[in-house]
Amino acid sequence: MISMAERTAVLVVAAFLLTRVKAFRSTLHRQASLREKALMVAIFSGISIMGTYMGIPYQDAIANSRVIGAVVAGLLAGPWVGLGTGLIAGAHRYSLGGFTDLACAVSTIVEGILAGLVFRWRKQREMSWSIGLGVGFVAEWIQMGIILLLARPWDQALELVKAISVPMSVVNSLGIAVFMIIIDLVKNEEDRIGALQAQRTLQVADKTLSFLREGLTPGSADKLAREIMRTTRVAAVAITDQERILAHVGKGSTHHVPGQEISTKATREVLSNKVMKLASSKEEIGCNEPHCQLRSAILVPLMLKHEAVGVLKLYQDRNSKLSAVDLELVRGLGTLISTQLELAALEQQARLLADAEIKALQAQINPHFLFNALNTIVSFIRFRPEKARELLLHLGEYFRRNLHHSGEFVTLEEELEHVEAYLAIERARFDEKLQVEYVIEPGAEKCLIPSLLLQPLVENAVKHGLLPKREGGLVTIQARVNGAGTLELTVKDNGVGFSGDPFFPHLANAQEKRRMSGIGLGNVRARIQTIYGSPYGIAIKSEAGRGTTCTITLPSGVKTYAKSVSR
């Protein structure tokens, strides 16, 4: 028993070394591919054969630890791996001869299948050391029974079983249990690394999500690198774009200077191949500075639309080594940053779309409004030059605000000044037919809103609501912050009104459809949805002969949110 224990200890050391193999680790998490399972058969067959060669010869037989490889293979990877291991190890034992050769070959196959069936039975639960101990003990006594059943002469087989049954069943079952304990420790180590990596990634993510709103810039890269440096234990953190260093924090910053062209061959290789790289030496990093303190690095590409737009790099110096946690951390951060760059690109596209819609809105408004305004001013020049001068000032103010605030966020007060410049000219055109009333709750005028939000609604109220009415009417502009914290803007008129919904094909006639579903209302609605999303937007209620009410709702905290989007 002592001799067998010594030999089994060698196999346990081999088991520990086996836990360093990637394919073996994959099997622990039920993720092994067919190719990896084939590799597992080869590895465990080798362990079983080693156990045979390290056995103790006794009466033309061998007291050995061959069972450890077959049983552990079945417990970890299932019946097919157990069967494959048993076949190879059993065939090898049969080739060595002896009166127990057939019995030992058959028992090895049976032991591998038995362990595989236990794997099937325990598939959804952890495989503990106690199960390994029990399966190993049962497997060894099954082997003793097969020897008694197949080995001849029977008297010699019985004498052999009496001598080896207790040492083999005790030592080998304990060896299997120790093997399973080592595996359990490896799994716990993997889980601990994963949990620590996830924790650090989430910490960095929580601090850096806002940095990349404008994409990968020197400013955002510097903030990101400093936060990663603060959260991790590395010697330096660097971020590049496709051509230059955007940020470098930590050791090596004297010669890895932001703004310089990329100098390391490892970075150029990652940009070219678009795959993560582990550089374990200064030579692999490829820095041209002879006194550079950086000795190892993990480099991961930052992807945008399947293109590498930059590289994130974590460095260590000669005093530390990059750990498995660092490897998983930078992998996770690379994915996180790439996702943020994708979102920033989408947000930029949404802003460009909104700006394009504003330009289209201006292209529709300006020519018609300018033509009417100039005609009105011409009519005042001869008889009321001061009024003409006043209208020219309003016209200039109107176009100045159009050009200056295109696509930006403005305060409600500024938007109302823009609307008033428009209304001043319209009042001059239609005199007493047009009346305007402002009902602005104190404090609401300081809230930020998208520019050109109210002007299209006011223009619709004047052109399509009041002017078709012989006696004209009143436009009321209201603003208030309601109890839910949302900003509510209302443009109301007591004009001719209409029936149906301006955004859907339920209007009474085609003329109403054309006039109310034009670019003005559609633009306002689409911009609100683009910026704020559901459930915010514009609601329109109208009744033929009674007038129309347009109500815009913006989210709570609109002031702060609009500032961040504007930046």
Question: Which residue from 113, 94, 116 is spatially nearest to 105, judged by alpha carbons?
Answer: 94
- 131-134: long-range contacts (C-beta < 8 A, 24 or more apart)? 131/75, 131/180, 132/71, 132/72, 132/75, 132/173, 132/176, 132/177, 132/179, 132/180, 133/173, 133/174, 133/176, 133/177, 133/180, 134/173
pLDDT at 511: 45
pLDDT of 79-102, one tens digit each? 889 999 999 999 999 999 889 999
Going by pLDDT thresholds of 50, 70 and 90, the confidence category of residue 200 is low
pLDDT at 562: 42
Please tell me which residue, 300 or 562, carries the higher pLDDT value: 300
pLDDT at 526 over 90: no
pLDDT at 91: 93
Q: What 3-state DSSP class applies to 441?
A: coil
User: What is this structure's pTM?
Assistant: 0.42
Rounded mean pLDDT, 214-240? 83
Share of the chain above pLDDT 90, in %: 14
Residues counted in the chain? 567
Going by pLDDT thresholds of 50, 70 and 90, the confidence category of residue 514 is very low
pLDDT at 503: 47
pLDDT of 149-195, one tens digit each? 998 899 898 998 898 889 888 888 888 888 888 877 877 776 666 66
pLDDT at 137 over 60: yes
pLDDT of 271-315, one tens digit each? 998 888 888 887 888 887 888 888 888 899 988 878 888 999 988
pLDDT at 141: 92
Question: Which residue from 107, 85, 88, 93 is spatially nearest to 62, judged by alpha carbons?
Answer: 93
Going by pLDDT thresholds of 50, 70 and 90, the confidence category of residue 476 is very high
Rounded mean pLDDT, 470-478? 90
d(CA 221, CA 210): 12
pLDDT at 505: 39
d(CA 208, CA 344): 13
Measured in degrees and rounded to the nearest 5, phi and psi for residue 123 equal: -60, -40
Torsion over CA: 113, 115, 121, 126 (sign): negative
pLDDT at 202 over 70: no
Please tell me which residue, 263 or 42, carries the higher pLDDT value: 42
Q: Which domains does the chain have, with CATH numbers?
A: 2-193 (1.10.1760.20), 218-322 (3.30.450.40), 347-566 (3.30.565.10)
Q: Describe the chain by its helix, strand, coil percentages, rounded to 5.
A: 60, 15, 25
